[in-house]
Structure 1
Amino acid sequence: MKTFKMILLAAAAAIPGTVALVAPAAAQVAGIAVANPEAAVARSKAWTAAQQQIQTTYKAQIDQAEARRKAIQTELQPLYTKFEADRKANVAEATLRTQAQAIQTRENAGNQELARLTAPAQRAQAYALEQIQAQLAPAVTAATTRKNVQLLLRPDAALFAQPTADITADVTTELDRLVPSVSITPPANWQPGQQQQAAGAAPAAAAPAASTPARPQQQGR
């Protein structure tokens, strides 16, 4: 069961995963740096403010969805427990398959219910995120120009990098300058993805995702 607090991940092409060894004392001199675009967006003032506004504006729906999520999880738990017990007891495969299908059906119905409850808030989050993403490429360009960076890698693409080689904070600073605030009220005809063309020079950012409750194995052997 996914909670409201997850945010739509904006898919993006990653910077090519070239493994680079960044010299400890010459990271900036050599023009090589690393940056995490997801973290840059997540730390921006516009995103932080948008999150706070959404939590306030849609509090009733968020609370209702959380209550329903807990209720559905409570309803499903005995089914999970029985399935696991029967599986360990080598109950007939057909019986396990029937149980698994019943669990899956109830989960699907629960997820659809939660999706309906959280749709307005999810839409507001996606709209706010797209507005920031539209300025991510210019922010990266400005940060790399200011830092005289010729090659920018994601942190996981570098074999080693000194902390001084990380310009994520600089990207956030540029985002704060370019997009100090965003609206959480999308136009009536707005659809997610309309501003993705702005991601050209840098990968679009993914906002932080909340954890989802672990579920017991639901398939027969």
Structure 2
Amino acid sequence: MKTIVKAAALILAPVTTLALTAVPASAQSKTGIAVADLQGAVGTSAAYTTARTQMQTTYKPQIDAFNARKTAIDTDLKTKGDALQAALKAAGGKPTPAIETQYQQFQQSQQAAQAELQKLGQPIALANAYVEEQITAKLSDALKAAMTKAKVDLVLNPEATVSYQPTVDITASVVTELNALVPSVGITPPAGWQPGRQGQAGAAAAPATPAQAPKSR
């Protein structure tokens, strides 16, 4: 009888061990990781590409006026900058009161130029922001759908990674989902519309950089 019990114990022992080790293994989460350039996805979406082309036509007068004025300002600032460098060189690299005054005037010209270009390019910048906001409103849904199809649980920005294989990049999938969710957008903001305020009237926000003709991302 003892021999039978011992034999049974030897047979059951490995089974019990396997059972105990199998539980934690099955409970572990096999996290799938991917990368996605969300800004790039918005910029290459069909809606954004089409809107950018439409803006080139609709806002052509503003774009041409902006570019012409920017060219004139750049030329003027270059002339003033060259004159400042020449004066400094003539003074042996030592700033004199006259050069200090010239430098301050140059800075004032730069600031005035930036303010002028921001104001001139504001309609273009506002329209571009309106286009982007319509698309990014669906970006979260597009990302979730792409993650589900790729069977991943975690998505990183490419800039947050050291290295990755192209196969883990789901940016193209996000673009596909965006195209389905937002096939097209408007390029003319409603009256009083401001970025992030959904049509609420308010003071216009100046663009972070001088606006130019819409460019691809």
Q: TM-score, normalised by structure 2?
A: 0.72
- State the Cα distance separating 1:148 from its structure 2 match: 0.7
- In the alignment, the residues of structure 1 paired with residue 196 and residue 97 of structure 2 have an alpha-carbon distance, to the nearest angstrom, of 43
User: Sequence identity of aligned pairs in percent?
Assistant: 48
Indicate whether 1:63 and 2:64 are aligned. Answer: yes
Aligned twin of 1:168: 171
- State the Cα distance separating 1:110 from its structure 2 match: 1.8
Indicate whether 1:190 and 2:193 are aligned. Answer: yes
1:19-68 Cα deviation digits (max 9, x unpaired)? xxxxxxxxxx8511101011101110000011111111010111111111
**SS of corresponding position for 2:121:** helix
Aligned twin of 2:21: none
**SS of corresponding position for 1:51:** helix
- In the alignment, the residues of structure 1 paired with residue 119 and residue 155 of structure 2 have an alpha-carbon distance, to the nearest angstrom, of 40
Aligned twin of 2:134: 131
Aligned twin of 1:37: 38
**SS of corresponding position for 2:155:** strand
Q: TM-score, normalised by structure 1?
A: 0.71
Aligned AA for 1:185? T
Indicate whether 1:95 and 2:98 are aligned. Answer: yes
Alignment of 1:3-14 (within 5 A): none
Residue of structure 1 aligned with 2:147, choices 135, 144, 147: 144
Q: What are structure 1's unaligned runs of at least 5 residues?
A: 1-28, 196-208, 211-221
1:100-137 Cα deviation digits (max 9, x unpaired)? 22112112222222223222111111101111111111
Residue of structure 1 aligned with 2:113, choices 90, 110, 114: 110
- In the alignment, the residues of structure 2 paired with residue 65 and residue 42 of structure 1 have an alpha-carbon distance, to the nearest angstrom, of 23
Aligned AA for 1:61? Q
- In the alignment, the residues of structure 2 paired with residue 138 and residue 87 of structure 1 have an alpha-carbon distance, to the nearest angstrom, of 58
**SS of corresponding position for 1:159:** coil
1:76-113 Cα deviation digits (max 9, x unpaired)? 11211122233342233433332222112112222222
Aligned twin of 1:12: none
Which structure has the bigger radius of gyration?
2
Report which structure shows greater RCO (CA 8 Å, sep ≥6): 1
Return 64-73 or 114-123, whichever deviates more. Answer: 114-123
Aligned twin of 1:86: 87
Aligned twin of 2:51: 50
Aligned AA for 1:143? A
Aligned twin of 1:72: 73
- In the alignment, the residues of structure 1 paired with residue 143 and residue 93 of structure 2 have an alpha-carbon distance, to the nearest angstrom, of 57
Structure 1 residues 93, 192: closer, same or farther in 2, change over 3 A?
Answer: farther
- In the alignment, the residues of structure 2 paired with residue 30 and residue 128 of structure 1 have an alpha-carbon distance, to the nearest angstrom, of 35
The count of aligned residue pairs is 169
- In the alignment, the residues of structure 2 paired with residue 111 and residue 50 of structure 1 have an alpha-carbon distance, to the nearest angstrom, of 26
Q: Which structure has more helix as a fraction of its residues?
A: 2
